[in-house]
Amino acid sequence: MTDLHDHQVQSSDVVYEGRIISVRKDVVSMPGDTTSQRDVVVHPGAVGVVALDDRGRVLLVQQYRHPVRRRLDELPAGLLDVDGEPGLAAAKRELAEEAGLGADTWHVLVDALTSPGMTDEAIRLYLARDVHEVHRNVQEHEEAEMTTLWQPLDVLVGRVMAGEVENAMACLGVLAAEHAVRTGFADLRPADAPWPSRKTR
């Protein structure tokens, strides 16, 4: 195993800055007195919500994703793009905005680094139970064309395994929720559990 000191950043330059992401070119020292260029997609991070109702159903939203040119079944989710906003507050906001729902019981479901070979994006998925409708403002932009669908959790697990649900956050959330239900929610973390991988802005 190499030591972290073998991977010191020798230089770092932002080569692209977009609306949400930027791309950074790092030159990193490597074992054996060499260096290597690493291109890093800098991402603010995101949260997602598995909303589970008392009938064992999970709420999906469907929206168009331009990079893959398709509408995908996904979980309510959003970027951590509000300065200082806690992850749980962001999750509650997204659930209300995208689905018109609130929930009385919240837990951390799972944390993940989406693709650590190329991006620093960290995501956190919450499990929301005891869900209920809440008032929401008129939907705009991509939310205006979202549709919603409740599906039984076991059906969704089958759809994930069959390759019918491809969004990574949805796959991860559905499979983690199935584990949580099967184990009686015994090993879930509190909703405000530390999140070491989240960057502060």
Enzyme catalytic residues = 143
Q: Output the DSSP codes for 119-134.
A: B--EEEEEEEEEEEE-
53: Cβ contacts below 8 Å, ≥ 6 apart = 59, 129, 131, 150
Q: Residue 31 and residue 6: Cα distance in Å, rounded?
A: 6
Query: Residue type at 162?
Result: A
Tokens encoding 33: 């007195």
Residue count (the chain): 201
